[in-house]
Structure 1
Amino acid sequence: MIVEAGTGLGKTLAYLVPAALSGRRVVVSTNTRNLQDQILKREIPFIQKYIAPGLTAMSVKGRQNYLCLYRWHQLDARGNQAHPAIFQDSVQDSVQAGRKEGEALYDKVEGWLQRTAVADRAELTGVAGNSFFWQKVCCLPSFCLGSDCPYTGDCYLNRLRRLAASCQLLVVNHHLLFSDLAVRKNGFGEVLPRYQSVLIDEAHHLENVAGNFFGFSFSKYQVIDLITDIEQSMLKKGGGVGASKLYAGILSASRALSGLNEQFTAMFPVRKGRFPLADIFAEYPELQQAGNTLMTALISLAEQLDKAKGQDEPWGHYGQRSQGIAQHLDRITSPVIFRAEQPEQPEQAEQSNYIQWVERTEKNITLSATPIDIADELRATLFAGAEHCLFTSATLRTDGGDGGFGYFSQRLGIPEGTKTYSFPSPFDYRKRSLLYVPGDHFPEPTAPEYRNALHLEISRLVTCSKGRALVLFTSFRALDLAWHSLQDELPYLLLRQGTCSRSRLLDRFAEETDSVLFAVASFWEGVDVPGESLSLVIIDKLPFEVPGDPVIMARMERIKAAGRNPFMEFQIPRAILALRQGVGRLMRRTNDQGVMAILDVRLFSKFYGRRFRASLPGAPVSRAVQGVEEFFNGERSSPSQETRE
């Protein structure tokens, strides 16, 4: 079943109550932590109190959110040497200060471990998930020793799984759900206990999340982490290691791998971003041979480690990690033949559905192979394994067939005949909001004069609203240009994404009523600021994705190869969904009111503009700033306002 239900309708309770009364084990999957917290802290207690007192429910997170006892004891075994190290990402006045704070954190964690049930990091205040310390002690698949772990009886992750197996309702995020599906697909067991039904909220994110988990990746730091663990185990062996030819072979292979890893990753161009791997290999043909040499070194290390299997250190596990990294690198760097006809070999059919790409960041190089089409993957995993699947979100419909759900259903391979429902927002957009689009004189985004016109229009609109505005951009460059142009011109507090944490920015925006927040990307959704602090949402232009992303390019090429139009079938629907998310930031409660301003005249000048307009809330339309002024002055009836076509 597919259900689109606007904010404020109570869709969360609408699917949780039947799930609670069904008697089945149900997985509820969301994209954001905020929705998970709402379900666990508000909706579930309500259901337990008034509807289903016997309901058992819990949150299950990705394994990196839980502490690994083996890694904790490895860190603990280093004694005083570990204390400064675990604060490596903090600014310290001295080594002594680092040791003092490290000892304080050690004592805090040691005490916490005596009390906690599952060692969830969220219980440990003051420790960030990306901190150097947590990265050294959290559970990660590549570090798990499984049944070979000396702490398997006390393992917090095993305890979590036992608790989850006794619960009826499990609340997870999309990443964990698809991690479970990917593990089951590859025959490596399961992450979640068996379930009968899956309820997927915020379902518009599914294609992107699923693509990550049904693909493969190799990174520079996967190899570095492996070598670091091997060297740490070597140190624990002490002086006896040097006398052993076996361990000398491991050490030699490990050091050789380290050099080849650095050599291979240093050969990639220095420019940051995402690029098709085929293009990079064509420009730098020596990378293919360097990759093959690195794979050989990984396999050689795995062979050396396999010889030591059964000893008191997890050499066999390290060997499996080395072999797995080599296999992923091989699959990602193997030549791919994209063609529409069915390849003769089944393995070619599988490979042809993947786009290989590389991403360079400030510190890392990651090579990935991502499915171009995830529909078959979902049919073989999610749809085959669950008896019932519900997909819901405030934004699933574009126009087109199947009641507007055609794009969503086609991209996910949802079976024909699936029931679909659409429930409009309960908010009175016609009386409490206004949609503003500049008049025909306003330049299109590709015009040279657009930038200056955009900045002037933002200034005029924010002046009308007296601040209280969220300004959403489609790129950081556009945000930066607008910021530098307007920061000294507007007499309001201007907040800017990137200057502090997302949560702190939103808190300040809500507290400072006349402030203006400039943002991109993640702020297009998940921002919930009711009341007058958010009375104006400005969107710089229609949010078409830049087709330079390798995965987006490959999906568009696949549609084009089938003789269809990727702009109409892919780019427009995705832009419509993004736009709907953006304008949805305005009305969060029934008493909210304000203006949605989209500063892109293509809504009226282009043939596809009608599709975008039809997807937006039913607010009156004004194409003159005077209409915005009158709205904020309380003068709603005006000839300058038009009715939507």
Structure 2
Amino acid sequence: MLDKPNFFDHFFDEKGPLASHLSNYQKRDGQVQMAQFIDESVTLKKTVVIEAGTGIGKTLGYLLPLVRQNKKIIISTATKNLQEQLLEKDFPILQKALKLNFNVSILKGRSNYLCHHRINNHSKMFFSKADASIFSDVEGLLKKTNTGDVAELKKNFSGNITHAVTSTSENCLFGDCKFSNDCFVNKARRRAHSAEVIVVNHHLFFSDFFNENDDANNLLPKSDVIVFDEAHNLIDLAMLYSSKVFSSLKLNRVLDDLINHLKNSVIGLENFSMIFNRYNFSISQLLDLVKDEPQKISLYKLSQLTTFKDHLIEIMNNLEELINAIKEPGFINKDIDASIKELNNFIELLKNIINPSEKKNALWLEKFNNSISIHITPVDVKGIFSKTTASNDSMVFTSATMTTNNNFDYFKDLTGLKDIETRVFESPFNYEKNALLHIPMGLPNPNEKDFFSSLVDYAYPAIKLNKGRTLFLTTSLNGVEQVANQFEFINNRNADTLNILRQGMLPNQLLIEEFKNSQNCVLIGSFSFWEGIDLIGDNLTLLIIDKLPFKSPDDPIVDAKINLLNEKDFFMKSQIPMTTLLMKQGMGRLIRNFSDKGVAILGDNRIQKKYYGKQILKSLPPFQLVEDYNQVLNFIEELR
């Protein structure tokens, strides 16, 4: 048997086992070194944090040493799409190259699996025409599916349908359910427990983590190693998934369920109509009170906070009155009992919102068309990661964007992880030869009214010369709209028009496919397009970023952090690192393989003029920085 260094060299060699299963394969020294580093670290039961530059091949770089050591592995990814990619692409390649079969299971959260009991309960409920059609499709899928995965339908579910056909940890009947033997969640959990490798997303991992003392709700088994892939946004996700949320929409759905259960029980609805009327009035008053507030706002900034809390107390009293009225006659069946438990959870949430006990939480409101949600979000999640590392032999955190200012200090500070090994494996791509970065110096300030129109006008000659093939990234949906409007204005005065695709026209994945298949095309998108998309080769050769993606100080989470630090410390300790990581993600869209070439234009010259700009700039991929716009146009001309 080959010793470890020789094994990894041989496996990743251009004449090795992996090369025969990949077309146009090129060996990456960084991938070999990464695999060796992880192999040694896991042997010594260490926790490691790795920045694996774009093109390293980080997925196989961490999979190979872990599979080779025959460890029980949990891999947590950023999205369900990345879960599918691991299952359908990366693992099959590794199994063929190693000539080894190992059991891999993908595990998703409850809302991804059909629930027999809830579908049975909602089969006679009224839906809109569109929802009724999808519900009929769900009933058809239920009869033939082996996994119960809602993704098998390949359709987008409305919130009402998701609520009607999937369970939550609050409304699941668990062992009391007559369908428990056929339960798709239970089947998925059994598959995961018997697998050698379990692939989850960050949402499920944290949901499971916060239910650690609830065996009925726990889905994940114990493991030897946990890998967090795309770990750069792990902190934000940990805050999000550890939040407690009061949702008026969710509460209304629970009450709709309860009404349905009462109708079908011996209790009936007759004695509760006045309570429901009082509740509906309280909710309508609450929504009316905040109708002129911003979409997201910290609770303490509400113009009528005292009145707002008074309405919350009224709603809490309505729910308590309803529960007592239902319990009084008795005869409570299991479904009614589950609904009461959910209502009690809402009451506890309301108590914590009205009289918060924890000072390091952000309390904030988010408005929707006909509903609101109130969030209790912890801004310090250090304890999560120290607890996770203590319960596993080894952990691997990896992403293409983990460092800021060429160190891991920001990640260490946010997670509280100090005793960890860190390593950077540089991208194998020749950025200085294949990519230019141009920063116009004469544009208006990014906050000025004519900034977007000026940036589009400035970049237009490059876009036309490039025949589209342009991704235009903005830092807000308002930016998407203003950029699209300026392109429309230019198109109206030119015979040779550009094909403009903007976020919101179609689902994101369909927009990307349309972009790949179109000529003279510009795709305009906000933050959901800054990461996680691959546009390789001639699909994308010009990247435009409107401005540095600073988080707004009005954002409730940012606002809460500023109140824990003084503003100057927040800007340098948090705002600059956050902006740096987002810029690295955005810039990473341009060069995706060895043969890619292209130009990036950043419309925000603060990166060169301001004192913090050099710190951000030196953290970005080392594109050749050019001042002369003619040099940009010449480079594009050579690409044609």
Q: By how many angstroms is 1:136 displaced?
A: 1.4
- Check 1:451–1:165 CA distance in 2 against 1; reply closer, same or farther (3 A cut): closer
Which of 11, 25, 29 is equivalent to 2:76?
A: 29
Deviations 1:408-457 (A, max 9, x none): 1111112x231111111111111111111113x34332456544432321
Which of 599, 619, 623 is equivalent to 1:619?
A: 623
- Check 1:306–1:29 CA distance in 2 against 1; reply closer, same or farther (3 A cut): farther
> CA–CA distance in 1 between the matches of 2:321 and 2:635?
71
| Matched residue, 1:466 | 467
Matched, 1:213 2:266: no
Deviations 1:267-300 (A, max 9, x none): 32344511011121x5342222221222222233
CA contact (8 A) 2:403 2:411 kept: yes
- Check 1:112–1:498 CA distance in 2 against 1; reply closer, same or farther (3 A cut): closer
Matched, 1:184 2:205: no
SS of equivalent to 1:195: coil
Which of 342, 352, 358 is equivalent to 1:321?
A: 342
Matched, 1:269 2:263: no
> CA–CA distance in 1 between the matches of 2:544 and 2:391?
43
> CA–CA distance in 2 between the matches of 1:424 and 1:513?
34
> CA–CA distance in 2 between the matches of 1:111 and 1:369?
39
CA contact (8 A) 1:398 1:576 kept: yes
CA contact (8 A) 1:60 1:170 kept: yes
SS of equivalent to 1:404: coil
CA contact (8 A) 1:309 1:315 kept: no
- Check 1:299–1:425 CA distance in 2 against 1; reply closer, same or farther (3 A cut): same
| Matched residue, 2:516 | 510
Deviations 1:118-139 (A, max 9, x none): 20111224x3233643431112
Matched, 1:577 2:574: no
SS of equivalent to 2:64: helix
CA contact (8 A) 1:217 1:369 kept: yes
Which of 190, 197, 214 is equivalent to 2:225?
A: 197
Give the stretch that moved more between structures: 363-372 or 482-491.
482-491
Give the stretch that moved more between structures: 387-396 or 116-125.
116-125
Deviations 1:107-128 (A, max 9, x none): x544533432220111224x32
SS of equivalent to 1:390: strand
User: TM-score scaled by structure 2?
Assistant: 0.87
| Matched residue, 2:6 | none
> CA–CA distance in 2 between the matches of 1:87 and 1:248?
26
CA contact (8 A) 2:112 2:166 kept: yes
Give the stretch that moved more between structures: 534-543 or 210-219.
210-219
Matched, 1:157 2:178: no
> CA–CA distance in 2 between the matches of 1:189 and 1:140?
9
CA contact (8 A) 2:174 2:216 kept: no
Unaligned runs of 5+ in 2: 1-47, 492-496
> CA–CA distance in 1 between the matches of 2:189 and 2:179?
15
| Matched residue, 1:340 | none
Deviations 1:541-595 (A, max 9, x none): 111111111111111221218xx61111111111111111111110111111000
Unaligned runs of 5+ in 1: 91-97, 336-347, 637-645
Q: By how many angstroms is 1:145 displaced?
A: 1.7
- Check 1:445–1:114 CA distance in 2 against 1; reply closer, same or farther (3 A cut): closer
CA contact (8 A) 1:277 1:356 kept: yes
- Check 1:393–1:198 CA distance in 2 against 1; reply closer, same or farther (3 A cut): same
Q: By how many angstroms is 1:89 displaced?
A: 3.8
| Matched residue, 2:8 | none
SS of equivalent to 2:170: helix
Matches within 5 A, 1:12-411: 12-51=59-98, 53-76=100-123, 78=124, 82=125, 85-89=126-130, 101=133, 106=136, 108-125=137-154, 127-130=155-158, 132-184=160-212, 189-237=217-265, 240-241=266-267, 253-280=275-302, 283-306=304-327, 311-335=332-356, 348=357, 351-380=358-387, 382-399=388-405, 404-411=407-414
- Check 1:365–1:448 CA distance in 2 against 1; reply closer, same or farther (3 A cut): closer
| Matched residue, 2:555 | 549
Give the stretch that moved more between structures: 451-460 or 163-172.
451-460
SS of equivalent to 2:95: helix
| Matched residue, 2:439 | 437
Q: For residue 262 of structure 1, what is the amino acid of its counterpart?
A: S
> CA–CA distance in 2 between the matches of 1:538 and 1:119?
42
> CA–CA distance in 2 between the matches of 1:453 and 1:567?
28
> CA–CA distance in 2 between the matches of 1:405 and 1:129?
40
- Check 1:531–1:50 CA distance in 2 against 1; reply closer, same or farther (3 A cut): closer
SS of equivalent to 1:505: helix
Number of residues of Structure 1 aligned to a counterpart in Structure 2: 588
| Matched residue, 2:14 | none
> CA–CA distance in 2 between the matches of 1:417 and 1:194?
22
Deviations 1:591-622 (A, max 9, x none): 11000111111121111111121011122111
| Matched residue, 2:426 | 424
| Matched residue, 2:503 | 497
SS of equivalent to 2:539: coil
> CA–CA distance in 2 between the matches of 1:635 and 1:390?
39
Matched, 1:592 2:604: no
Q: By how many angstroms is 1:314 displaced?
A: 2.2
Q: For residue 353 of structure 1, what is the amino acid of its counterpart?
A: K
Q: By how many angstroms is 1:50 displaced?
A: 3.1
SS of equivalent to 1:386: coil
Q: For residue 274 of structure 1, what is the amino acid of its counterpart?
A: K
CA contact (8 A) 1:465 1:536 kept: yes
Q: For residue 584 of structure 1, what is the amino acid of its counterpart?
A: G
Q: For residue 149 of structure 2, what is the amino acid of its counterpart?
A: D
Q: By how many angstroms is 1:196 displaced?
A: 2.7
| Matched residue, 1:481 | 482
> CA–CA distance in 1 between the matches of 2:288 and 2:539?
48
SS of equivalent to 1:527: coil
| Matched residue, 1:606 | 610
- Check 1:109–1:518 CA distance in 2 against 1; reply closer, same or farther (3 A cut): closer
Question: What's the C-alpha RMSD, in Å, of the aligned pairs?
Answer: 2.4
Q: For residue 207 of structure 1, what is the amino acid of its counterpart?
A: I
Give the stretch that moved more between structures: 367-376 or 30-39.
30-39
- Check 1:312–1:613 CA distance in 2 against 1; reply closer, same or farther (3 A cut): closer
- Check 1:253–1:151 CA distance in 2 against 1; reply closer, same or farther (3 A cut): farther
Q: By how many angstroms is 1:86 displaced?
A: 4.1
- Check 1:34–1:157 CA distance in 2 against 1; reply closer, same or farther (3 A cut): closer
> CA–CA distance in 2 between the matches of 1:52 and 1:559?
54
Q: For residue 124 of structure 1, what is the amino acid of its counterpart?
A: L
> CA–CA distance in 1 between the matches of 2:99 and 2:159?
40
> CA–CA distance in 2 between the matches of 1:135 and 1:286?
31
